[in-house]
Amino acid sequence: MSDDYNVENKGGASWHLPAIIVLGLIAIGGLAFGWNASSKLDSTQQAVTAQVNSFKQGVEQDMSSLKDRIAQDEKANTDLQGDLKVVTDKLKITQGQLKKARAEAAAAVQDTTQKLTALDTSVHTELATKAATDDLKNVDTKVVGVRTDLDSTREDLKMARSEMGTLIARNHDEIDQLRRLGERDYIEFTIAGKNKPQKVGNLTVELKGVNEKRGQFSVAMTAEDRRLEKKNRSMNEPIFFYLSGTKIPEELVINKVGKDTVSGYVSLPKANAQSQSSASSSGK
């Protein structure tokens, strides 16, 4: 019996050791796993804490910036309110000045209108009073002017006469004086260059030569298909010619000569125009 007990006792003790070893290993593995998990947890906690601190720091910086901006905005708002108050005060002053200026302008316009009305009435009254006197003075002035013109004309008409009794003008002013008499028509002309026929009234005049030193000239005149040449004629010496159906001669006068240039006028009696008109009517 004792031998069987010992054999059984030895057999039971043989499995205790492996079990203890396995349990030990399990315990060691559990400890290692726990330590590893604890390490990871610490690392994760540290990382989370760092992130939280960083986020907290960023939020604090943003809050600080926001506070600064709010302070700046409040200051700008305060400045704007002050400027607005100044502008409002000035605008009130400007509006008051504008109303005053408008009132003064209206008063000035009314005063000017009254003065103009009074002046207009006064002028009309003076004109009505002095009308007769002024008209008389104007008439006297015109009479004096006419007398002066007549006296001047009488003096100016002391010019040379041709053998036909016509007055000979020596320049443009004397030609105008003759025009005012109304007896003849005067056509002034200038011919520059020789052998260049030029139409003057009912004549064609052509310069043939000039002796500037002696004041002489030579011309050819054509009227009604008749050609007439005059050589070495003197200045202010009239050249007479008749047209068919007329009794009073026309005349050509040269009163200025230069190098291949002459100036003068053609004088046409107004009676000739009437005679030619009558002749043409009777011929029909």
pLDDT in tens, 203-237: 899 999 999 889 999 999 988 888 989 999 998 88
Per-block mean pLDDT, blocks of 10 residues, the chain (284 long):
49 68 80 75 78 78 81 82 73 67 70 71 69 57 55 56 79 89 89 91 90 91 88 90 84 91 90 54 51
Rounded to whole angstroms, what are the CA distances from 43 to 49, 50, 53? Answer: 10, 10, 15
Mean pLDDT of the chain: 76
Q: What is the pLDDT of residues 79-109, one digit of tens each?
A: 888 777 776 676 665 667 667 767 776 776 6
Q: What is the pLDDT of residues 248-259, one digit of tens each?
A: 888 999 999 999
pTM equals 0.43
Rounded to whole angstroms, what are the CA distances from 69 to 62, 75, 188, 254, 274? Answer: 10, 10, 98, 105, 111
How confident is the model at residue 7, as a pLDDT?
44
